Structure 1
Amino acid sequence: MATTIRKKYFQRAIGVILVLIGVNIAAAYIHGRWDLTAEKRYTLSNNTIQLLKKLDSPIEIEVYLKGDYPASFKQLAQATQELLEEFREYGKQNIRFTFVNPGQGLSDSARMKFLGELTAQGIMPFNMKVQEDAHDGYAEKLIFPGAMLHYKDKKTGINLLKNQGGQDPMQTMNSSESLLEYQFASAISKLQEAEKPLIGYMMGHGESLGAEVYDALTTLQSNYNLDTLTIQTTPYIPRDFDVILFAKPAAAFSDADKFKIDQYVMNGGKVMWFIDETNASLDSLQKKESFLAFDRGLNLEDLLFRYGVRINQDIIQDLQCDAVPLVVGNVGNRPQIQPLPFPMFPLLNPTGAHPIVRNMDLVLSHFSSSLDTIRNENIKKTILLTSSRTSKTMRVPAEISWTSLKVQPNTREYRKSFIPAAVLLEGKFTSLYHNHVDPAVAGPLEQASHTPVKAETDKANAMIVVSDGDLIANAISRKDGPLQMGINEYNPGYAFANKEFMLNCLEYLTGRQGIMESRNKEITLRLLDAEKVKKEKTKWQFICFAVPVGLILLFAMVFLFIRQRRFAE
């Protein structure tokens, strides 16, 4: 009898073990995932899923977020790991990732060389203050919150920590988490491209082409195929260019030049305009105490008006602005220099309504003009950058001087809000030369391009107009040379989102709209009410301490009561 019982229990145990093995094997091949979060933070966009499923070779990802970091960075590391695990669900064995401590185990020289390579790949360092011992002060520690992606013989770096000027640190981390999917998906998409889009950097009208646009040109060369094109010496703009870019032209455009641009647009070409409508510049102000700002006379008003926008002959002034150093007095024989806010250097706000500017930091600008959109049912206008709530415009011609900086701004004059400074135009554009084409101009273009003159685009097209040519310019340091765009030479520790804005615009125009949809993801930051926490702190401390203890005592009393009743019977 005892042997039969043991045999029966043994068979049951074997059966349970076999069932568990079968369940584990089935779970390895058949399993489901449910995202129960309100904002669907663990759900990838359809375009990202399709991108991962089509991988033909492994993507090796090194994430540099391993180490003794504060809680906020550990949270970013955890969010990155969760995202990459989700990537692996769809990319299978083609997604491989590791978390490493950059430079660990290397000699000082090898470590500096390795960190230099990270910076060269665009992974920017973050200077973090840490307290190594309770009795010591704070020490500075250089960390690289980024990741390196390797695909076949190519590699690219991405920054996981996004700068958010003036934001709460928790909100900065929240914005960084929101952009993780886009960051990785965009990098993977670029690595897989067989041929990079071709960008035409337009010349012939005094456009910037020197140290002042060094960062813009090197950034374009790193992410795209780049070529220059002098518009006067070419009979037409080849359609091989995916996007043409005008960077701060200074000379007037002739009708022949505008006709070439117009027909490029009519044939589906896309344009990025960085236009300074006035001649105002910091160089002019540095050479003398004051100068007269006036209209450049670029002769682009009619062309842009036809496409749906007008750049006004004015300068935006904003209380939300960058600072410039100014001599405010003398201490002994030495001048006393103090950074003073310069309202004509507004920090432009991303509107947040479009993937190009979603979760993006402020953008530094110099002497921007206001934009007006023109009513046109065929063209959709999306404002990308605006001034703040406290701004105004100054009509040109006008005198600009250093003296004005020493006067406290009258806040009652800054009554305008959200003045547009950058706009995306999308739709079917109509030619400026519709019904009045000059045969002497049209003939050579048709003959050279083998394409008839068009009166409108066959399908929807797009262009972006920015009313500041200096937005993609960089400061030049006497010590370090050209800096990154968006950095004030006198405050080099912080970079605004100028580079990110330029790259996002080009990504959108070159046809990567699908990947950019993941920029719309927004993770809700659910913070505790600090005032309520302070007021009810004692109550909740008591509840957290007393309730668990009370439940245990209650369970013990009930258990003893039932036990006594049972054995009493």
Structure 2
Amino acid sequence: MEGTPKVAATEPMAETRAPRAAPRRRLLSAAGLLAALILVIGVNVLAETFLARYRIDLTEQRLYTLSDGTKSVLRAIPEPITVRLYYSSRLGRDIPVYAAYATRVRELLHEYAALAGGQIRLEFYEPEPFSEVEDRALAYGLQGVPVDQSGEQVFFGLAATNLLDEERTIPFFQPERERFLEYDLTRLVFELSNPRRPKVGVMTGLPMNGEMRGPMGRPTPPWVVMTQMRQFLSVQDVALDVAEIPADIDVLMVAHPQGLGDQTQYAIDQFVMRGGKLMLVLDPHSEAQAARPGPGGMPTRETASDLPRLLETWGVRYDKDQVAGDLRGAMRVRAGERERVQAVDYVAWFTTSGPGQINRDDPATGQLNQISVASAGFLAKRDGAGITFEPLVTTSPEAAPVPAEKVRLEPNPTQILAEFRPGNEKLVLAARVRGELPSAFPDGPPPAEEGAQAPERTQPHRARSEGPANLVVIADSDLLEDRFWVRVQDFFGQQVATPFADNGALVVNLLDTLSGSDALIGLRSRGESRRPFELVDAMRRQAEADFRAREQALQKRLEETEAKLRELRRGTGEAGRADPVLTPEQRAAIDAARADILDTRRELRAVQRDLRREIEGLQTTLRLANIVAVPVVVALIAIALGFWRIRRRARRAHEPHEATA
């Protein structure tokens, strides 16, 4: 009896508290949302202020992670550099691939500026048509590209300057070179930080600078590769008997060294030991030398070059008595006796253009398409050598060594081809070599020859290289000669060179990369921000393979019917003469041929339409998946969470009643 009034007294109290608690809860909820908003803004402000330099690169190919070489270049900038990016947003709207590429360029530039400690100043411009910004972009030499017939140009280039008004530009960011974006930007910064033009010393017995030939002593022009080198680099000739390489030379190019004395070999060795960059071009048989008359008027028999003492010490294996032969890229030459001259594949002369033959990850070779060589040797890393041996140019797998004596004097391409047995391994024709190297002269300079005075040297002897040495070794000197990679023609008194191979670009690119710092040499290609639809591409290729055969059959039928129609229209009378009057049978045949042509063209259009429809259908499916699938998944997750919360609240609501009961 006493419990009844207590229950009745508590129920009204609960009813009077509920209306007061609701506004308080709403107030607390609003305050919580406001506090969360303030917290989010504060965290973002603090992160932007203190954590801007700390980033996480979650891309698959580490697109935004800079290499150690780039970081060292950025930290060593002595004076401020201003970098101006000119980008037309219309280019990204019309061609989306450029929008993604532009985003990557901007992000990478911000990363450069953050690591440079204020020494890189960034400026971004939107060039409008006929504006001052467009005029400045053109004045820097940036490339404007028309997007339609109105003549309006879009820009996507970069211009950078230092305090000395030195300029470096990237006229237009080509998507094909996106893999080398970091190298190009770092190279630009390095050149503005070190404006001195690199000097390349050339030591060779080949007539790369031209020579006096013939009984009248007429001069021959320089080789095209030498002309290109002088356009981009400061080139200085170095004597073959030099005792010390000049200290101002950054890169030494030694091409086809023959009979070099110990003093000269010691000079090359010490140049590498003190940090100089070396391009060594060897050859088991120089076709250029074999085609030139010797002192007695006959070609010389000694056509091989080698530096065994240096190569063995530095860990590179090379045999001057072996030539690389390649069946896949063999050049066709005329061979045989006078009565039976025929075209034969000469395996000792070949081009490298197949997949995997040219290193696509190296900035010097990444965009080259074809290299031509003649009687080339091959290289390898010696067992146990502590060097990094990176192939740049290789043969195809259908290659094998050929004794060099078979290509010297009077080679027989037919016999060489008949005896050639290709293996299943690529041979390395050119390679980068890096590592700490010992000197080939550990006991110091070689003694002077009897009766000769010891040469004066300004540099002390070094028994090991100062840090990692950087070399490029090429096993063919004939890739430098004009006839193997370029056609030179006279055009109204001027010599015009038309390359059919990338030999000249290979040499200039290698010298260019060697002339940079060690940080630049260590840079390699990166991934691309473009992620193609591989499934779409595979379906496109399969669809084309399925439909092209039918399309070709219909096209052939169409051509045959049209030819028949032309014959019927001409008409023929007696004695095979043309008759302008057509018989009813001929008219009926013409009408049938026309109907056949219309039907064939209709089927051809249907085939082409089916080809496009299947590809477009897949693209539509992928778009719907990207646009619809993700929101649907999020909505389903939200619905599931909602049901879970409702059930959880219902369960909690029942718990007090069960306890009261």
C-alpha distance in 2 between matches for 1:383 and 1:435: 30
C-alpha distance in 1 between matches for 2:451 and 2:152: 63
Measured against aligned partners, the alpha-carbon deviations of 1:432-479 in whole angstroms (never above 9, x if no partner) come to 69699444379744x511557666657654432211224456635424
Determine the structure 1 residue equivalent to 2:110.
85
2:101 to 45, 63, 76: 76
Determine the structure 1 residue equivalent to 2:238.
229
1:154 to 142, 147, 166: 166
Determine the structure 2 residue equivalent to 1:529.
535
Determine the structure 2 residue equivalent to 1:271.
278
TM-score (norm 1): 0.65
C-alpha distance in 2 between matches for 1:237 and 1:81: 43
The higher radius of gyration belongs to: 2
C-alpha distance in 2 between matches for 1:255 and 1:294: 23
Task: State the 1:144 CA deviation.
Answer: 8.5
C-alpha distance in 2 between matches for 1:551 and 1:20: 23
Is 2:96 the partner of 1:36? Answer: no
Determine the structure 1 residue equivalent to 2:475.
467
**Residues 159 and 168 in structure 2, CA contact (< 8 A), matched pair in contact too:** yes
Measured against aligned partners, the alpha-carbon deviations of 1:276-307 in whole angstroms (never above 9, x if no partner) come to 3312259959xxxxx99975144644543444
**1:56-71 matches, cutoff 5 A:** 56-63=79-86, 68=91, 70-71=95-96
C-alpha distance in 2 between matches for 1:19 and 1:506: 52
Give the aligned residue type for 2:426: F
Q: Report the secondary structure of 1:421's partner residue.
A: strand
C-alpha distance in 1 between matches for 2:274 and 2:104: 44
**1:309 and 1:268, CA in 2 relative to 1: closer, same or farther beyond 3 A?**
farther
Deviates more, 1:299-308 or 1:17-26: 17-26
Is 2:366 the partner of 1:346? Answer: no
Measured against aligned partners, the alpha-carbon deviations of 1:25-83 in whole angstroms (never above 9, x if no partner) come to 65652344332223221222344345445543132334577654644444433432332
1:390 to 364, 385, 398: 398
Determine the structure 2 residue equivalent to 1:179.
180
1:45 to 67, 70, 75: 67
C-alpha distance in 1 between matches for 2:87 and 2:122: 14
Q: Report the secondary structure of 1:208's partner residue.
A: coil
**1:16-35 matches, cutoff 5 A:** 26=46, 29-32=49-52, 33-35=55-57
**Residues 322 and 345 in structure 1, CA contact (< 8 A), matched pair in contact too:** yes
**Residues 470 and 514 in structure 2, CA contact (< 8 A), matched pair in contact too:** no
C-alpha distance in 2 between matches for 1:538 and 1:146: 32
Task: State the 1:246 CA deviation.
Answer: 1.7
Task: State the 1:154 CA deviation.
Answer: 0.8
1:429 to 428, 435, 438: 438
**Which of the pair is proportionally richer in strand?**
1
2:378 to 371, 374, 390: 371
Give the aligned residue type for 2:432: L
Q: Report the secondary structure of 1:272's partner residue.
A: strand
Deviates more, 1:375-384 or 1:429-438: 429-438
Determine the structure 2 residue equivalent to 1:136.
none
Task: State the 1:267 CA deviation.
Answer: 5.3
**Residues 67 and 101 in structure 1, CA contact (< 8 A), matched pair in contact too:** no
Q: Report the secondary structure of 1:231's partner residue.
A: coil
**Residues 229 and 235 in structure 2, CA contact (< 8 A), matched pair in contact too:** no
C-alpha distance in 1 between matches for 2:173 and 2:333: 29
**Residues 317 and 343 in structure 1, CA contact (< 8 A), matched pair in contact too:** yes
**1:443 and 1:241, CA in 2 relative to 1: closer, same or farther beyond 3 A?**
farther
C-alpha distance in 2 between matches for 1:64 and 1:322: 46
Q: Report the secondary structure of 2:456's partner residue.
A: helix
C-alpha distance in 2 between matches for 1:495 and 1:144: 30
Deviates more, 1:22-31 or 1:52-61: 22-31
Is 2:269 the partner of 1:243? Answer: no
Determine the structure 2 residue equivalent to 1:170.
none
Determine the structure 1 residue equivalent to 2:590.
none
Give the aligned residue type for 1:191: L
**1:73-152 matches, cutoff 5 A:** 73-91=98-116, 92=118, 94-98=120-124, 105=130, 147-152=158-163
C-alpha distance in 2 between matches for 1:230 and 1:180: 38
C-alpha distance in 1 between matches for 2:302 and 2:191: 40
C-alpha distance in 2 between matches for 1:440 and 1:158: 53
C-alpha distance in 2 between matches for 1:183 and 1:29: 30
**1:81 and 1:437, CA in 2 relative to 1: closer, same or farther beyond 3 A?**
closer
Determine the structure 2 residue equivalent to 1:169.
none
**Residues 436 and 469 in structure 2, CA contact (< 8 A), matched pair in contact too:** yes
Task: State the 1:95 CA deviation.
Answer: 2.9
**Which of the pair is proportionally richer in helix?**
2
- Runs of at least 5 residues in structure 2 that lack an aligned partner in the other structure: 1-23, 211-220, 293-297, 335-342, 541-613, 647-661
Measured against aligned partners, the alpha-carbon deviations of 1:462-512 in whole angstroms (never above 9, x if no partner) come to 43221122445663542474658xx317xx9x99655333423443xxxx2
C-alpha distance in 2 between matches for 1:179 and 1:305: 33
**Residues 386 and 418 in structure 1, CA contact (< 8 A), matched pair in contact too:** yes
Aligned sequence identity (%): 16
Determine the structure 1 residue equivalent to 2:508.
499
**1:350 and 1:241, CA in 2 relative to 1: closer, same or farther beyond 3 A?**
farther
Deviates more, 1:184-193 or 1:522-531: 522-531
Task: State the 1:529 CA deviation.
Answer: 2.2
C-alpha distance in 2 between matches for 1:552 and 1:460: 58
Determine the structure 2 residue equivalent to 1:288.
none
**1:441 and 1:240, CA in 2 relative to 1: closer, same or farther beyond 3 A?**
farther
**Residues 398 and 422 in structure 2, CA contact (< 8 A), matched pair in contact too:** yes
Determine the structure 1 residue equivalent to 2:591.
none
**Residues 146 and 157 in structure 1, CA contact (< 8 A), matched pair in contact too:** yes
Give the aligned residue type for 1:388: S
C-alpha distance in 2 between matches for 1:141 and 1:488: 35
Q: Report the secondary structure of 1:440's partner residue.
A: coil
Task: State the 1:367 CA deviation.
Answer: 1.1
C-alpha distance in 2 between matches for 1:477 and 1:553: 70
1:318 to 322, 326, 333: 326
Task: State the 1:316 CA deviation.
Answer: 3.2
Measured against aligned partners, the alpha-carbon deviations of 1:244-275 in whole angstroms (never above 9, x if no partner) come to 112345x5434443344345445554421123
Aligned length: 491
